Structure 1
Amino acid sequence: MPISQYQNNYHTTYLDNLFNVISMVCVTGLSIAPISEIYNGIGQTISIILMQIGGLGLITLIAFGVFALQKKMNFAGHTLLQSALNRKDSKNLKEYLFFAYKTTIIIESLFGIIIMTDFIPRFGIKHGIFNSIFLTVSAFCNAGFDNFGSSSLNTFVLNPTINFSVSALIIFGGIGFAVWDDVIANLKRLFFSKPVGHGVFYKKLSNQTRLILQTTVIILFLGTLLTWYLEKDNPKTISNYTFPQQIMVSFFQTVTMRTAGFSTISFKDTFAPTNFIYMFQMIIGGGPGGTAGGIKVTTFAIAFLLIKSELVGQSLVTFSHRVIASKTVKQTISVLLFFFTIVVIGYTLLLSFEPNLDPFSLLFETISAMNTVGVTMDLTSKLSTQGRIIIMLLMFIGRVGPITFLFSLIQKKEKNINYAETDILVG
């Protein structure tokens, strides 16, 4: 609508705005033009609301309203909410939902204030507060949108306050509310119950929490190291910076590749091997039950443990002296197969409809959309109508999730069938 847009800067079609809205609700970050050039204050406020809804989930928002009004929810509603929150059972759903919303408000408020300390002197009180809220919500929801123009956060490439605040928001939002619930519950026991050592505290965490935390730390460490090593001699990215600055820039790109979509350097300038590594990071994504996309770190970790079990000759997949259920392993394989099938189909269609665009950049765009990351090699605005529709579908499927989308297509009850075993050679 005219009230939401600047009338003289950029003429948008209905498809352009639909593309942006899908990208916001799917917390991706791809757009046909910079948000600040299209939408005015009203449009950007709507954008904030869409990103927050997309990050927390529409189902959880409706359920929160029902609970806040002290209304009762039927069994079907509880089942739907349980699925949306990625919970194994429906126990204490109301308390967990309110915890997720309180955690969101506290984290966004805290880091919003920290970012304001930089933005208010820079932009003034009015725009400083608004820009801080916009960036905070976008970062926590892993949306990847900003209102600073086509350069994303390149202006803040050497700004520690923005780099580490946005990185923390991305990690805290993408790690999953189940992890926060587990960590906070154990911190309460640590400080308000009988004192225990930090080693014991870590062991008290659930295996899922430990798997997510361990995998996240490893990915961030290796990603930062690889980015620095591959780009340290690139004058267009980080070679002109000091070593601490190079590490900070490398760390930020590694964090944002876990489905956030921000950037402080141009991915047109990074070397091809670096972008190839970034594609793998985009595929992995964040934790289940959070605001991040991708196949999720648990899926990646279980796939790694499956390969490890084969290499060491174990018949079962294990983690921390516990056996991972065969059903979970099967779901892992299903997610991977379905995910890569959709990527191959989407990429093939883009190659067909966009023959004049760089194939490597198209692959980067495909994986970015499917994993709701939102980074681009400056390709989104060059896509044809057919190309944009494909990207919109990929963003939608990526946000809904491979398992959810697959189960919505094949809704059949689980059957236990016992047949005689047979041997088939593989590899």
Structure 2
Amino acid sequence: MCRHVRLFVQVNLLHKSIAVIIKKLFNPAQLFIGSFIILILFGTVLIRLPISLKTAITGVDALFIATSAVCVTGLASVDIPSTFSVWGQFFILLLIQAGGIGILSFAGLFAYFLKGGSSYSNQLAIGSFSNVDRLGEVFTILKRTIIITFSIEAIGAAAIYWSFLQNPAGVPVENPLFTAIFHAVSSFCNAGFSTFTGGLMADAVQYNYGFQTVVAFIYIFGGLGFPIVINVLKYLKHLSNRLLKKWTLKQNYYRPWVMTINSKINLITTGIISFLAIVFIYWLEYDNVLQEHAGVGKWVIAMATATTPRTAGFNSIDFSQLHNPSIILIMFLMWIGASPSSTGGGIKTGTFAVAILNVVSLARGKSKTEVFRREIASISIQRAFATMFLSLVAIGTAMVAITYCDERFSTLEIAFECFSAYSTVGLSLSVTPELSTASKLVLICLMFVGRVTMLSVLIAFVKKVRFTHYKYAPEELTIY
């Protein structure tokens, strides 16, 4: 008995010692990045197991697929259904789910439930990547995130399974239940992976507009961001309570600012960008890639084509057949990406909106950026422009590297792949499988950096300066 007690004490002391060492050696940004690296390496080993494969796969291709799954990108250097068995596809599904929600979120929740709480430093680590101001809300938000994620994926899987039963093409779907679950998870996490050869262009689902619509709504919802979804649900609850009070002739139930400025800006930006993109794709591709579709089908595929670059990556059409203006538009949409704190990538709609608002304010001669009777903090503007600048630096560097390694591809094709990789979209002009090993390694790094963001990488490894109580005299530089 004493030996067991002694062993327990030693293990507990070892655990505390390791925790202290980790706290001293690594900051939250490094832990966040490290969690993704560990998950990618673990996934690489997992999908190379004999039970995972139908055909042999190189180590670079395994690393590419694992990185693409964990970073919820969707770019594939091999054909998923013909290369991986059901077990392999299941492991990819787990990597997508873990990468979509965030391995750090899972770790924090497990620690919370196993220990009955969490340390202050753990809450800081997770809160810094959840955009939560009050530490007490960190795990409340994370619990809601898990519940919302699994609920939407379950509802989506049921809807997709029902669409298979109503399939107008009459082409049977192999393993319909697993396929429905896989596409529901892949859609909500904005991963873009599919168990169909050819993606959503497969005969079984290309003309199944019910399936195409369900998948589109799932990844649009996943791209809104968890804080926005939670805020919208809170607003709908407030609205129903307000109407209930009004109908029952009780006092006026009114609470201002239930819908946050962050939610308003991102929802409006998402709505405007999506609407304009759908109209543009429908008009420009009416007699091109949309020609084989008719009636409502044209609008459904136009919607899927216009919304999937932000940043789902499902290919309902052959993107290599698009007109050049459409390709340029899609690259721009990929760069913008989804909303903050979502499963999608890109610079985010909030960043793009803040940049536009700041430019408009400068054009009007205003020294402050204001919207909805609120002033946007200067730190938000600084982060927005830093994010945009760093994204272009990363994409440009990758383009130069791939152009050097694979000169046979055009600049437009390489640029499309790089924008897709950095924004974790997964769309391709059928170039990815043909890339050299060196180019694939470049895309692996670009997908990883795009998922954790360049700003997080800099925060993780650039030493922070101490806060100073003085400031130098301002000096204006010649900008234009």
How does the TM-score come out when normalised to structure 2? 0.84
Aligned to 1:324: 376
CA shift at 1:408, angstroms? 1.4
Structure 1 gap ranges (5+): none
Aligned to 1:188: 237
Judge which range, 144-153 or 170-179, deviates more. 144-153
Whichever residue aligns with residue 74 of structure 1, its letter is S
8 Å contact from structure 1 (residues 59, 84) kept in 2: no
Whichever residue aligns with residue 147 of structure 2, its letter is K
Aligned to 1:179: 228
| CA deviation vs aligned residue, 1:124-147 (integer Å, no higher than 9, x gap) | 797110000000000000000000
Aligned to 2:37: none
CA shift at 1:194, angstroms? 6.0
Mapped to 1, the partners of 2:329 and 2:393 lie a distance apart of 20
8 Å contact from structure 2 (residues 209, 297) kept in 1: no
Aligned to 1:264: 316
2:183 pairs with 1:135: yes
Q: 1:34 aligns with which of 70, 79, 93?
A: 79
2:168 pairs with 1:97: no
The aligned runs of 1:333-412 (5 Å cut-off) are 333-412=385-464
8 Å contact from structure 1 (residues 259, 372) kept in 2: yes
Question: Percent identity among equivalent residues?
Answer: 28
| CA deviation vs aligned residue, 1:254-311 (integer Å, no higher than 9, x gap) | 1110011101100111111101000010011111111010001000000111111112
| CA deviation vs aligned residue, 1:38-75 (integer Å, no higher than 9, x gap) | 11111011011000001000000111212232433222
Larger Rg computed on CA atoms: 2
8 Å contact from structure 1 (residues 60, 84) kept in 2: no
Aligned to 2:337: 285
Mapped to 1, the partners of 2:256 and 2:296 lie a distance apart of 30
The aligned runs of 1:176-255 (5 Å cut-off) are 176-193=225-242, 195=244, 204-234=258-288, 237-255=289-307
Aligned to 1:148: 196
Aligned to 2:214: 165
Aligned to 2:356: 304
Mapped to 2, the partners of 1:209 and 1:202 lie a distance apart of 14
Aligned to 2:28: none
Mapped to 1, the partners of 2:245 and 2:164 lie a distance apart of 41
Q: 1:295 to 1:125 in 2, by over 3 A?
A: closer
Whichever residue aligns with residue 216 of structure 1, its letter is T
CA shift at 1:195, angstroms? 4.4
Mapped to 1, the partners of 2:140 and 2:417 lie a distance apart of 39
Q: 1:141 to 1:151 in 2, by over 3 A?
A: closer
Whichever residue aligns with residue 140 of structure 1, its letter is F
Mapped to 2, the partners of 1:110 and 1:22 lie a distance apart of 27
Mapped to 1, the partners of 2:304 and 2:400 lie a distance apart of 31
Q: 1:76 aligns with which of 121, 133, 152?
A: 121
2:151 pairs with 1:106: yes
Structure 2 gap ranges (5+): 1-48, 247-253
Whichever residue aligns with residue 128 of structure 1, its letter is P
Q: 1:202 to 1:135 in 2, by over 3 A?
A: farther
Q: 1:50 to 1:15 in 2, by over 3 A?
A: same
Q: 1:317 to 1:271 in 2, by over 3 A?
A: same
Aligned to 2:61: 16
Q: 1:201 to 1:290 in 2, by over 3 A?
A: farther
Mapped to 2, the partners of 1:414 and 1:191 lie a distance apart of 48
Mapped to 2, the partners of 1:124 and 1:247 lie a distance apart of 25
8 Å contact from structure 2 (residues 234, 258) kept in 1: no
SS at the partner of 2:325?
Answer: helix
Judge which range, 186-195 or 334-343, deviates more. 186-195
Q: 1:202 to 1:276 in 2, by over 3 A?
A: farther
8 Å contact from structure 2 (residues 417, 427) kept in 1: yes
8 Å contact from structure 2 (residues 196, 202) kept in 1: no
How does the TM-score come out when normalised to structure 1? 0.94
Aligned to 1:5: 53
Q: 1:20 to 1:418 in 2, by over 3 A?
A: same
Whichever residue aligns with residue 118 of structure 1, its letter is S
How much is the aligned-residue C-alpha RMSD, in angstroms? 2.0
Whichever residue aligns with residue 224 of structure 2, its letter is I
Mapped to 2, the partners of 1:301 and 1:71 lie a distance apart of 40
